[in-house]
Amino acid sequence: MRRPDHLHKDRSVHISLSRPLADRLSEYAAVAADLGVDAVALVPGPNFTRAIGQSFMSHERPFLVVIPSQGQPAALVPNLELGSWAQVGFDGAVFDWRDQDGYDTAFAALLAHLNITSLAAEGQVMRVFVHHALKRAQPDLRITDGEAAISGLRMIKTPEDIAALQAAIDISERALARTLDSVRLGQSEKDVEQALIQALFAEGADDLAFPPIVAAADNAARPHAHARADYGLKAGDALLIDFGARKHGFAADITRTVFLDHASDEAQAIYDTVLRANLRGHEIARAGVTAHAIDDAVTAVLEESPFSEFIRTKTGHGLGREVHEVPYIMRGNHQELPAGTVFTNEPGLYISGQLGVRIEDDILITDAGCTSLTRFAKELTVLKC
């Protein structure tokens, strides 16, 4: 398989945080004010990393930062993390605790210091035991779900964010080229999966964005298939690969479907339909368009084809620090997409027992339209393997 010219280039970049910590935290103070609560709480995860500028593990030890709408933030930090926390440059009060002592006293001290009565938490991230610890420390504390507003700050990507995404995508595309060059009939899906993982790290990935999906023939008709060790690739198979590298904390998410040795007339027609739907997504994407409008236009291409009964999924989702984040590109979501939004455009058709085809690009919304951050070839590809 000929490697596109741009895949030979390592466009590695140094990613730095351009804004001081206090400025980043002030955004969450503004969210608290907008939500009408006294403070916002962040726990380790993508929002925490965006705000703090450093990632910390989420495990059995509670760890949180509380940012009031007014006044200095405060943090509850496991004692063993104090050395790492000192490198963050956090100016607020810090309440630490040791495993042997438990954390209830630290929670009580944190809330007494803050003197708040309401708190917005990350509904999809904060764990129940942290919620319970807050309520034990202050039973009258009102805790609400601020997930949409808190995570919404990540929707518009900064230039640093986009550079990190591009680095992850470039690594992924180089790895895919290496992997497809190595595919041979008779290999298992697991063999291809392992070759892909090795190529991702060889090309510079910090981690996998998610466990890759490598699926051939009838397995490709399962949108979230698992690679099989007991199936040997056969001539005429569709081979669907959905994967991504993680670099500088950001995730790529790319899918390409190729055919082995040859593609039947029906397979080519299915592929052409999905490709037209994918290209329609590129055509309509621009600042101010709604997620509904994009999905409606893309899905309409599939619905107007002879294969409409094989639609299984929406068009896509936001992409950044998480593989799936806001906005969700689906009918009924009338959220307007501002410039700086990155989303996946991944129409597919899935014929149970036969094959699946998905083509996925990572798209940056701009004022002028959109830019595809993915550049790997999309024309129907038959591997002579």
Domain 159-383: give its CATH superfamily.
Creatinase/methionine aminopeptidase superfamily (3.90.230.10)
| Tens-binned pLDDT, residue by residue, of the chain (385 aa) | 445 555 645 444 444 456 899 999 999 999 999 999 999 999 999 999 999 999 999 889 999 999 999 999 999 999 999 999 999 999 999 999 999 999 999 999 999 999 999 999 999 999 999 999 999 999 999 999 999 999 999 999 999 999 999 999 999 999 999 999 999 999 999 999 999 999 999 999 999 999 999 999 999 999 999 999 999 999 999 999 999 999 999 999 999 999 999 999 999 999 999 999 999 999 999 999 999 999 999 999 999 999 999 999 999 999 999 999 999 999 999 999 999 999 999 999 999 999 999 999 999 999 999 999 999 999 999 999 8
User: How would you list the strands of the sheet with 245-247, edge to edge?
Assistant: 207-208, 245-247, 250-251
Inter-CA distances, 281 with 196, 262, 278, 328, 365, Å: 27, 28, 5, 14, 11
Strands (E) located in 109-244: 118-121, 142-145, 207-208, 213-216, 238-243
The reported pLDDT for the residue numbered 19 is: 81
The C-alpha atoms of residue 312 and residue 80 are separated, in whole angstroms, by 46
Q: What is the DSSP letter of 221?
A: G
pTM attached to this predicted model: 0.92
The C-alpha atoms of residue 324 and residue 326 are separated, in whole angstroms, by 7
Could you tell me the residue ranges of all domains in the chain? 21-152, 159-383
The C-alpha atoms of residue 360 and residue 348 are separated, in whole angstroms, by 9
Domain 21-152: give its CATH superfamily.
Creatinase/prolidase N-terminal domain (3.40.350.10)
Residue type, 148: A
Residue type, 356: G
Closest to 153 in 3D by CA, of 49, 249, 224:
49
- Cβ atoms of 244 and 272 within 8 Å: the answer is no
